[in-house]
Structure 1
Amino acid sequence: MAWKWESFAFAILAFAILYWLLNRYAFGPLFGMMEKRREMIAQQMKSASDNRDQADKLLAEQKKVIEEARKEAYAIIEQSRTMSSKQADELIQNAKAESNRIKEDALKDIESEKNKAVAALRGQVSAMAVMVASKIIEKQVDEKSQEELIDKYLKEVGGKL
């Protein structure tokens, strides 16, 4: 294979013309588009970074607000517990006081009824004693019959109680 000078010069001339045409019509717009693309990507990356920073700030704020809300909720729950505990204690105290009052009223009623029953019994016993005495006087009996009569009336009185 022989090397020819003319074909080498022709190849270099063709390459130079092709390079000039590409540089004139293809590389300029291509490099311009690539530069615009690079700027757009840089702008999008900056925008994404700003958005991420803003999202991080918002997330931190939301976490803070949620934590404050949680603390407030716990405080409200604790306040409700103490309030309900106080109300329960108050209700228990009121119930105890009411039961003591009812018990005292019942004891007073029982004592009153007891006194009435004792008074009625005294009246009946005295009436029976008078009746026994009048029967004894009517009957002029001996001592043994008198004891039997008293025992009989005492048994009647005991049966009526």
Structure 2
Amino acid sequence: MAWHWESTVYAIIAFGILYWLLSKYAFGPLFGIMEQRRQMVLEQMNSAESSRQEAQQQMEEQKAALEQARKEAYAIIEQARVTSTKTAEEIVTAAKSEAARLKEDALSDISNEKNKAIEALRSEVGGISVQIASKIIEKQVDEKSQEQIIDQYLKEVGSK
């Protein structure tokens, strides 16, 4: 095989023309599309990173809001517990004072009724004594008759 320098020159010239045509019509648009693709990938990566950061921030905000809601719920529960304890104490105190008042009223009523009964008994005994004395004076009887009259009046009083 002989080496032909003409065919090498033709091959180099053909390769140069082909390279020039490819660089003018194929490589330029191909490199342009590749650059657009690279830019798009970079934009998507930046967008994904910003979305991830935004999601992280929202998650932290939600955690903070949840923690705040828990604190508020605990405060509400604690306030309700304090209020219910206070209300229960007020109800017990009111019930005790009402019971004491009712007891005092009942004791006062009992004392009044007792005094009325004693007064009624005194007036009745006084009246009976006067009646017995008048009967004794009217009859002027002996001792045995006086005892019978007294027993009779005592029976009458006992039956009332």
TM bin, normalised by shorter chain, reads 0.7 to 0.9
Deviation at 1:37, TM superposition (A): 1.5
Say whether 1:95 aligns with 2:95: yes
Aligned to 1:134: 134
Deviation at 1:27, TM superposition (A): 3.6
Say whether 1:65 aligns with 2:80: no
Deviation at 1:78, TM superposition (A): 0.3
Identity of aligned residues (%): 60
List alignment gaps of at least 5 residues for structure 1.
Answer: 1-8
Q: Which has the higher contact order (CA 8 A, sep 6+)?
A: 1
Aligned to 1:104: 104
Amino acid at match of 1:102: L
Q: TM-score, normalised by structure 1?
A: 0.78
Amino acid at match of 1:31: F
Deviation at 1:139, TM superposition (A): 3.0
Question: Matches of 2:18 and 2:158 in 1, distance apart?
Answer: 148
Say whether 1:76 aligns with 2:79: no
Question: Matches of 2:57 and 2:132 in 1, distance apart?
Answer: 110
Query: Deviations for 1:53-104, whole angstroms, at most 9, x for unmatched residues?
Result: 1210121122112202211220122022112211210221122112201211
Say whether 1:113 aligns with 2:104: no
Query: Deviations for 1:19-61, whole angstroms, at most 9, x for unmatched residues?
Result: 6655432343133112201211221111111111121012112
Equivalences, count:
151
List alignment gaps of at least 5 residues for structure 2.
Answer: 1-7
